[in-house]
Amino acid sequence: MSNRWSLVVPVKTLVAAKTRLAAATGPHRTRLAVAVACDTVEAALSCRRVARVVVVTADPAAAGPLAGLGAEVVHDPDRGLNTALRTGAAHAVRVAPGDAVGALQADLPALRPAELALALEAAAEFDHAFVPDAPDVGTTFYGVRPGTPFTPRFGGESRAKHLAAGAKELAVPGIDSVRRDVDTPDDLRAAVALGLGRHTAAVVGELWPDT
């Protein structure tokens, strides 16, 4: 069982990111997308179980800030989310073949390193495992042990897809921040209630000064 993880974080081209937040965020939408990704990556890099974070993106506006935080940036071949994740995972395996590999969504602005560690500790007990999102429809994390094929099935009702593929669903208490991804204004408010990371908090402070 590996105690070290390489995490792959996919970051969309910012013009396509967070479209469901457009009405609420207006001209701040791309800034918010970068801030959320920065908080996700910063929290992951601060987690004691995480050896490296591999960001997969084709957008230099995201690549620069994320590399500045310490992420390894790999170019996104632009053939869909799961292909991007497999590209990042292949890089991670080349760099550290003995480490477990996980995919982490880039939109977890309230992510806590200690809560991520709990999820990774649970995931290390299984060949492949995942964490469902807060509504129990999607997936925020998918991970495999070293040597296990990395077969993410993100997109749409990915919780059902991962279950159907035999991945272990992790019902770990106390990992709300790992499950709270942000796609809508209501999601963002729920993340605010958990406590935002510093990058997202700065942007949200401009959007909603009373928050």
Say whether 139 counts as a known binding-site residue.
yes
What is the pLDDT averaged over residues 42-59? Answer: 97
**CATH, domain 5-205, list 3.40.50.720, 3.90.550.10, 3.40.1640.10, 3.40.50.1470:** 3.90.550.10
| pTM above threshold 0.75 | yes
Q: Is the pLDDT of residue 38 over 70?
A: yes
Where are the chain's structural domains? 5-205
Q: What is the pLDDT of residues 152-179, one digit of tens each?
A: 999 999 999 999 999 999 999 999 999 9
Please provide the DSSP assignment of the chain as one string.
--S-EEEEEE---GGGTTGGGHHHHGGGHHHHHHHHHHHHHHHHHTSTTEEEEEEEES-HHHHHHHHHHTPEEEE--SS-HHHHHHHHHHHHHHH-TTSEEEEE-S--TT--HHHHHHHHHHHTTSSEEEEE-TTSSSEEEEEE-TTS------SSSHHHHHHHTTPEE---TT-HHHH---SSHHHHHHHHHH---HHHHHHHHHH-TT-
Taking only the tens place, the pLDDT of each residue in 121-159 is: 999 999 999 999 999 999 999 999 999 999 999 999 999
The answer to whether 140 is annotated as binding is: no
Averaged pLDDT of the chain: 92
Annotated binding residue at 177?
no
